Amino acid sequence: MGGILIWFLVPVDFWSILVWVVVLALGAVVSRISEKEFGHDARPIVIDEILGMGLALLFVPKQLAFFVAAFVLFRLFDILKPFPARQAERLPLGWGVMADDLVAGVYVNIVMQIFLAVRTQV
């Protein structure tokens, strides 16, 4: 849910992209520490979903229909873990927790950008 709030509140510019890079790095550190207590990519660790949804919605119009589509696609890609998400999940030191959702978010954003480009052509 945090990714949704950030999507509405943070404008897309150099600084917001810098924020995402910081979230990725801090998320890896926090995930590494949390994995010691909860296990690998456990449910209480949600910073990876915040990163993934934020990336899924980057440069996507702020409309409910686009949010719902991106959310459904993100859950689908997060569950299916298409290449290289499954491989990225195996990265050590908390990076794997972040990386698989990073990949899912990028895939969703690509699908959304293709949809938006096709939609404007019709």
Mark 76-98 as b/e (b = at least 16 C-beta within 10 Å): ebbeebeeebeebbeeeebbbbb
Identify the band that residue 118 occupies on the pLDDT scale cut at 50, 70 and 90.
Answer: very high
Q: Is residue 5's pLDDT more than 60?
A: no
Q: Where are the domains of the chain?
A: 2-121
pLDDT at 35: 87
pLDDT in tens, 20-34: 889 999 999 999 999
Q: Taking residues 92-116, what's their average pLDDT?
A: 94
Q: Name the least confident of 12-16, 60-64, 76-80.
A: 12-16
Q: Is residue 96's pLDDT more than 80?
A: yes
Q: Name the least confident of 3-17, 60-74, 108-122.
A: 3-17
Q: Taking residues 76-105, what's their average pLDDT?
A: 93
Q: Is residue 113's pLDDT more than 90?
A: yes
pLDDT in tens, 44-72: 889 999 999 999 998 899 899 999 999 99
CB atoms near residue 1 (< 10 Å): 9
For the chain, the average pLDDT equals 87
Coil vs helix vs strand at 43: coil
Cis peptide leading into residue 84 (ω within 30°): yes
